[in-house]
Amino acid sequence: MLGILRRIWGDGASGQVARKRMQFVLMHDRIDITPEMMEALKNDMIKVLSRYMEVECGSVKVDLEQGKDFMALISNVQVKRVYRHST
């Protein structure tokens, strides 16, 4: 039974899966940033970036990640073109 579950959920032992999930959940709980605030942050970032370059708005992702002793904001943005003269 456990073997079947393991096959469904990929290989990692479930203890480590739990640990990684909890790292993520607790970090979000602690910083208390609502999904709406994350969305607002994302939109503001797009606004600022758009002054310098044309970005693919639908592609922008913003995530917080917990390192061993730091927290990182990680964002992936697809750039269409960079303006020659920033406005």
Does 31 sit near other proteins (CB under 8 A)?
no
Among 23, 43, 59, 78, binds other proteins (CB under 8 A): 23
Is 9 near other proteins (CB under 8 A)?
no
Phi, psi of 28 (to 5 degrees): -65, -40
Cβ neighbours of 27 (radius 10 Å) = 14
> Residue 59's closest CA among 79, 81, 36?
79
Nearer to other proteins, 18 or 71 (CB): 18
Residue 4 identity: I
- Report, in Å, the least distance between residue 12 CB and other proteins: 8
Residue with tokens 């602690």: 30
Q: Are 60 and 75 in contact (CB under 8 A)?
A: yes
21 touching other proteins, by CB under 8 A:
yes
Out of 13, 34, 35, 70, which residue is the one contacting other proteins (CB under 8 A)?
13
User: Which residues are near other proteins by CB under 8 A?
Assistant: 2, 13-16, 18-19, 21-23, 25-26, 29-30
